[in-house]
């Protein structure tokens, strides 16, 4: 049976057993690893999903104020010299992007706070060649459909969408994550101990591996 069918079975089980709540829950995939050396094989990657996860709060480091995204211009960087001010800023946003020209200044002014939180703009997703509105809009759309996977321990938990998505759409997002992890893990399927799905307030459901 294809893994897609096993994902569908697990989703059906989640929906059947879950109580109704007054908010839309997130669907999480939990991947437990085996034979994985977290000290030598840890990795970080971005996975773009077919269906939007949510609208994320994004801040841009720009040369001029943007009409379509919150932004801080270089002249304002000094306002965040104090760590408490920088931490407050960073806590208020899910993601940060930057004009490539400003990255040295961004690293100097915000690197000590952005780096440890995993929110530093990166070439993979976050550094843009210009502040053209079309370029900014395109990266915002990509960010809203992208998850970052930071593998530093032998268990990975990723929110892949809302329960309001169709089952087929949830499966497509799950397959994007599953495929990327298999490409990236050093021993591919042999690194998988088990996979579970869960809703925010629900109990995990096992996904049968092939």
CATH of the domain at 181: 3.30.190.20
The whole domain housing 154 covers 3-52+145-207
pTM beyond 0.85:
no
pLDDT tens string 31-70: 999 999 988 988 888 999 999 988 899 999 999 999 999 9
CA–CA separation, 146 and 143 (whole Å): 5
State which of 143, 178, 198 marks the end of a domain.
143
The predicted structure's pLDDT at residue 81: 87
Q: Does 111 lie in the same domain as 66?
A: yes
Q: Does 139 lie in the same domain as 62?
A: yes
Strand order in the sheet with 70-73: 70-73, 58-62, 95-99, 127-128
State which of 143, 177, 192 marks the end of a domain.
143
pLDDT tens string 104-147: 999 999 999 999 988 999 998 999 999 999 999 999 999 999 99
State which of 116, 143, 170 marks the end of a domain.
143
């Amino acid at each position: 049976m294809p893994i897609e069918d096993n994902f569908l079975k697990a989703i059906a089980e989640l929906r059947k057993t879950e109580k109704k709540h007054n908010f839309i829950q997130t669907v999480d995939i939990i991947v437990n690893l085996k034979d994985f050396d977290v000290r030598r094989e840890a990795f970080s990657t971005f996975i773009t999903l077919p269906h939007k996860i949510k609208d994320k709060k994004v801040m841009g480091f720009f040369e001029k104020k943007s009409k379509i995204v919150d932004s801080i211009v270089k002249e304002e960087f000094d306002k965040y010299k104090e760590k408490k001010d920088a931490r407050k800023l960073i806590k208020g946003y899910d993601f940060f992007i930057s004009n490539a020209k400003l990255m040295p200044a961004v690293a100097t002014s915000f690197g000590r706070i952005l780096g440890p939180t995993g929110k530093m703009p990166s070439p993979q997703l976050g550094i843009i060649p210009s502040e053209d509105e079309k370029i900014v809009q395109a990266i915002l759309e990509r960010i809203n459909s992208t998850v970052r996977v930071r593998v530093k321990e032998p268990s990975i938990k990723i929110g892949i969408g809302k329960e309001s998505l169709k089952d087929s759409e949830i499966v497509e997002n799950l397959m994007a994550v599953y495929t990327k992890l298999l490409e990236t893990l050093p021993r591919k399927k042999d690194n998988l101990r088990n996979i579970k799905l869960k809703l925010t307030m629900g109990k995990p459901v096992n996904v049968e591996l092939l």
